[in-house]
């Protein structure tokens, strides 16, 4: 059985990350207009541009449009839920530029098993956390 290392939330970001979590709970799911109707249409958001579009005109009960007010606080924007900034790593030399107190490594999906183990060993030496360690 593999033991998972639990990551701790940084103290300085704890209250702001709670605010972000609250905001994200209230945020509606922005779905593509008529996305349910056709199988070939993906559910991902696309801006409604039709001339008679009820969603573009923002009629009631037609869904919401993404707006500035739905964003998360500026200080935690782009951070993980633990308060670290994710940095993509594709070889062991990329770890040299990382700051272990502020950044967390994300091993690129194109990296093979051999290089992945090298990156993980070097990260362990430098005490850098890795997001996708078990994959």
Higher pLDDT, 81 or 120: 120
Looking at the structure of the chain, the number of domains it has is 1
pLDDT for res 9: 74
- Residue 133 located in a structural domain: yes
Residues 49-97 pLDDT 10s? 999 999 999 999 888 999 988 888 888 888 888 888 999 999 999 999 9
The reply to whether 104 falls in a domain is yes
Residue 9 lies in a domain: no
On whether residue 58 sits in a domain, the answer given is: no
Q: Would residue 69 count as lying in a domain?
A: no
**Residue 16 in domain:** no
Structure confidence by residue, pLDDT tens digits, 22-32? 888 988 889 99
**Beta-carbon neighbour count of residue 13 at 10 Å?**
19
- For residue 111, tell me if it sits in a domain: yes
Residue-range definition of the domain harbouring residue 125: 84-135
Q: Is residue 120 part of a domain?
A: yes
As given in the structure block, the two tokens for residue 80 are 């993980």
Q: How deeply is 133 buried, as exposed, middle or buried, from its count of CB atoms within 10 A (0-12, 13-18, 19+)?
A: middle
């Amino acid at each position: 059985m593999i033991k998972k290392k639990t990551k701790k939330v940084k103290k300085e970001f704890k209250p702001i990350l709670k605010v972000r979590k609250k905001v994200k709970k209230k945020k509606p799911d922005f779905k593509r207009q008529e996305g349910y109707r056709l199988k070939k249409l993906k559910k991902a958001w696309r801006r409604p541009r039709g001339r008679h579009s009820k969603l573009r005109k923002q009629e009631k009960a037609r869904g919401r449009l993404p707006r500035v007010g739905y964003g998360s606080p500026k200080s935690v924007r782009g951070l993980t839920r633990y308060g670290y900034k994710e940095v993509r790593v594709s070889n062991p030399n990329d770890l040299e530029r990382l700051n272990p107190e502020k950044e967390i490594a994300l091993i690129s999906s194109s990296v093979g098993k051999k290089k992945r183990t090298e990156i993980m060993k070097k990260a362990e030496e430098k005490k850098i956390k890795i997001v996708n360690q078990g994959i």
